[in-house]
Amino acid sequence: MRRSSTDESTYRRSPSPEGKEPGFARGGPFRRCSSQYGRGDAGDASSGAFFGLHANPGPKAAQARYTSPKGNKYVVFYLDLSFIFLLELKRCSMARGCLQGVKYLMFAFNLLFWLGGCGVLGVGIWLAATQGNFATLSSSFPSLSAANLLIVTGTFVMAIGFVGCIGALKENKCLLLTFFVLLLLVLLLEATIAVLFFAYTDKIDRYAQQDLKKGLHLYGTEGNVGLTNAWSIIQTDFRCCGVSNYTDWFEVYNTTRVPDSCCLEFSDSCGLHAPGTWWKAPCYETVKAWLQENLLAVGIFGLCTALVQILGLTFAMTMYCQVVKADTYCA
């Protein structure tokens, strides 16, 4: 029999709210048929079909779907932090490596500096013990002897070298900066003395000759063994007599007499003999000419001293900067 339209309407289903067929319309027995006509199960599986029924994603599924990108962002963020940490660690290791290299170089330099100061101090003490006030030629500055100068210089050099060694070993910024300042002051003082010496050479010459002539009156007197020995050595080694002439001694002895060290052939009381047996060259000009002949050696010595001090300044400031960088990166 043929069903009427009224009967068929009882089997009709109202359309779904989304205008789509419900899941069971595409499932059930029709699913096998559709697979035979080329409809695959992949589409149904991706749309959430299960036993012919479509399961709409709930709120938990939607939340899970959107938390996965956030997790990826966290992973990338952690990787970035790890990479930055490795870079900083590498930079810190490089800074520490440079610091160690500069540290040992500066320690070796200051150790040599300190040993040199010990040697100078030892020579000064030996001269003071065996020769008295050796090389005291000035009557205005009796304490300005070669022994005293060596003792003061050696002590100062030892102190600076000790500060540098301890500062390098301990990596102490205060000691390193103190070493730098002290060495810089010494270098500036030496440069100032050199400039003043060349600027006032004529005045220094006149003053030195006058002071040396005054010092002749102390020759052979009690308590001036250093001055007596210094004049005897100079006149014997440089073959000269007096400051500007052998007649300078006439004012000292109030007679025609010179020390025995002025004699061409040394013998007891030879200074009482005729002037023809004495050296005629003035000691001041002779020593000055010797210094001018050896000016190159004196200049090389002064230049080497300045270079050593500049090298010490460079080591000190380099290590100070490395310590600051290491503290900044590795704090």
Residues 65-93: pLDDT tens digits? 444 454 555 555 454 555 555 555 556 66
Average pLDDT over residues 32-57: 43
Minimal CA–CA distance to 167: which of 95, 106, 101, 100?
A: 106
| Residue in the block written with tokens 């001269």 | 127
331 pLDDT band, cuts 50/70/90, is low
Task: Give the mean model confidence (pLDDT) for residues 234-252.
Answer: 91
- pLDDT tens figures, 254-276: 888 899 989 988 888 888 878 88
Count CB-CB contacts under 10 A for residue 81: 10
Q: Ramachandran region of residue 135, left (φ > 0), alpha (ψ -120 to 50) or beta?
A: left
Each residue of 130-175: pLDDT tens digit?
Answer: 766 556 666 667 677 777 888 899 999 999 999 988 988 888 889 9
Identify the pLDDT of residue 185.
93
Task: Write down the residue that tokens 């500036």 correspond to.
Answer: 188
**C-alpha span between 90 and 96 (Å, rounded):** 10
Q: Are 256 and 250 in contact (CB under 8 A)?
A: yes
